[in-house]
Amino acid sequence: MLFIPAIDLIDGRCVRLLQGDYAKKTEYSHDPVGVAKSFEDQGTKYLHIVDLDAAKGGDRNNRSVIQKVVSALKIPVQVGGGVRDRKKIVSLLDIGVERVILGTIIVRAEALARELVAEFKGKIVAGIDAQNGIVRISGWTEGTGLKAMTLGKQVRDMGFSLIIYTDIMRDGMMEGPNLQEVKRMSVETGIPLIASGGISSLDDLKKLKPLEAYGIQGVIAGKAIYEKNLSVREAVRVLEEEC
């Protein structure tokens, strides 16, 4: 199971939001490249980046910063936030991003999402972000009324081969992951899954580790790292080396 550190970007800086609330922002670093390099130096094999400016819509984005991060690393990088058309996917892949996460477009433009899956195959991933089991989109600022499990089955039928599932209520709270829902999403969709939201300690990772047998391929963590509750090096060891 992969341990995947997260870098969330606003105005080119590393931040964390509490439950996706842009008004509850904590800034951690002005040097995303340095942060990313430190994660790589500690042994992580993948990096997760979210462009929170792009996620809200409009013209603002952190593409130039993302390009610098990707260029500085040897490990692959996945990026999400505001990817709502083919042009944005291509622009990210062109700067070396390994895979691109789609979220809003899956809900709003299913036909287009199907076309993109067929074209880009394993280079795009389905991002499902849910609050109390209901999907939210547009940087978590809009509700949909759509059940996360329903969308999970839909993305399976669209042809996606990987889901990144975020429990918004756990995100940034460091209260532990929603083990039951993570397992259920993977089992009921039959698609490999990366879990996100709530990681606070090595104990949380040890609880997630057995779910590898049910298709959980990785875990994303952010705030616990920045608050120094969790060492990247130790997290990698627990998930990738322990039986």
Please give the positions annotated as active site.
8, 129
**44 vs 23: CA distance, rounded Å:** 30
Structure tokens given for 225: 């790292």
CA distance 179 to 163: 15
DSSP 8-state secondary structure symbol assigned to residue 214:
G
Q: Is the dihedral of CA 184, 185, 186, 191 positive or negative?
A: positive
Residue 74's closest CA among 48, 101, 36? 36
Cα(243)–Cα(204) distance, rounded to whole angstroms?
Answer: 15
Q: CA 165 to CA 128: how far, in whole Å? A: 5
Distance CA 169, CA 20 (A): 9
Pairing of strands 2-10, 13-18: antiparallel
Helices (H), ranges, 25-168: 32-41, 52-55, 63-72, 86-94, 104-108, 110-120, 148-158
